[in-house]
Amino acid sequence: MSHLRDKKDVEYIRETSDKTLDLMSVYNVVPSPSNYQVWYDYTCEENMSLNKAIDDMIRKKKSFTSKVCNNLYERFFSSDQEQNAVAQAGQGIQSELTKIAKAVCEINKGTADYGKSLNESLHGMGDVPGSEELKTIISGLLTDSTDFTNKNNSAQIQLKESAKTVQKLQTTLETVRQESLTDMLTNIGNRKSFEENLNQAIKNATKKDNELCLIIGDIDHFKKFNDKWGHHVGDQVLKAVAHSMKTRVGEAGTTARYGGEEFVILLSGLSMDMAQNLTDTIRLSISGRSMKRKSTGESIGKITCSFGIAKFRPGEHRNDFLERADAALYRSKANGRNRITLEGDSSSNVVQVA
């Protein structure tokens, strides 16, 4: 069985590699290692953000120059690899320092026992005739043993301090990583965070046979709103919507800003009905708010959102999962906005609230 699986893996890699090189040839991409990594991942369709970026460029008929390709690699691969490498190195160094400190401690214990035995032997000799020369030798050994123990104690202290420094560096790195997964405007997860959570949620749903629902929400007429009131007020709206979603989702799932005025919510272990009920609570909380301009107190009217919901189907590709939720959102928009549509429904499930 293992041999067959390995053979299939090799066949898949070979097939994917061929497709990758074909695509690079079609779009005149130089087959450098970094470019190959970008286009191999694009062919695998494992990174939704990468695929969307390249698809948008293809649709706009942009050229994949060396500068463009380098930007793609830096954007989607370079920083992640460096962070992961530093994190793994930090963990490895800390582990080795702990081992060394433990070994030094054991040596010190043995040396202390050795010194104790020498000291007992020295005092046990008393004034035995002819023992003076032997006492001198033992005293020298005892002094050397004490010096060795003191040096080891100093080394052990230094090792513990080094371990603390490495721990602080790892904590700092984790803080930077969390910042890289957070949308700075709304203070919820960003698109990268969503993709990580989606991958993990799909793995958990597959392994534990749990239900998994994906909700995509979009602020209605946001462009017109921005054009009328300006981007500063638009930012206020994005923050308010994100807060309503995050507060009401709570521990039931994860919330992220997918891009622009679009948000995504992952709910693990909740049925479609439960997901719909929670989404309606979010929808009503948003549409029930009266937004005001902070600088003047002027009313800017009510904000509404449209939603689409899809349920994960075991074995499907995550892009198909996302597309079904996105199609449901599109139908909510087409049917009047400020409503929820479940995947497969031709009409919205929630009528617009006056």
Predicted local distance difference test score (pLDDT) of residue 207 = 87
Distance from chain centroid for Cα 196: 5
Predicted local distance difference test score (pLDDT) of residue 98 = 63
What is the rounded CA–CA span in Å between residue 328 and residue 212? Answer: 16
pTM: predicted TM-score of the whole model, two decimal places: 0.59
Predicted local distance difference test score (pLDDT) of residue 307 = 97
Mean pLDDT of 14-37: 88
Predicted local distance difference test score (pLDDT) of residue 3 = 38
Site of tokens 């043995």:
110
Share of the chain above pLDDT 90, in %: 32
- At 331, the amino acid letter reads R
**Second-level CATH architecture of 191-342:** 2-Layer Sandwich (3.30)
Predicted local distance difference test score (pLDDT) of residue 166 = 60
Query: What is the dihedral sign for C-alpha 337, 338, 344, 349?
Result: negative
pLDDT band per the 50, 70, 90 thresholds, residue 109: low
160, exposed or middle or buried, with CB in 10 Å at 0-12, 13-18, 19+?
middle
What is the rounded CA–CA span in Å between residue 26 and residue 167? Answer: 48
Res. 321: pLDDT tops 60 = yes
Residue 63's region, left for phi above 0, alpha for psi from -120 to 50, else beta, is beta
What is the pairing mode between strands 340-342 and 305-311?
parallel
Question: Is the pLDDT higher at 12 or at 155?
Answer: 12
**pLDDT digit string, tens, across residues 252-299:** 999 999 988 999 999 999 999 999 999 999 999 999 887 777 767 777
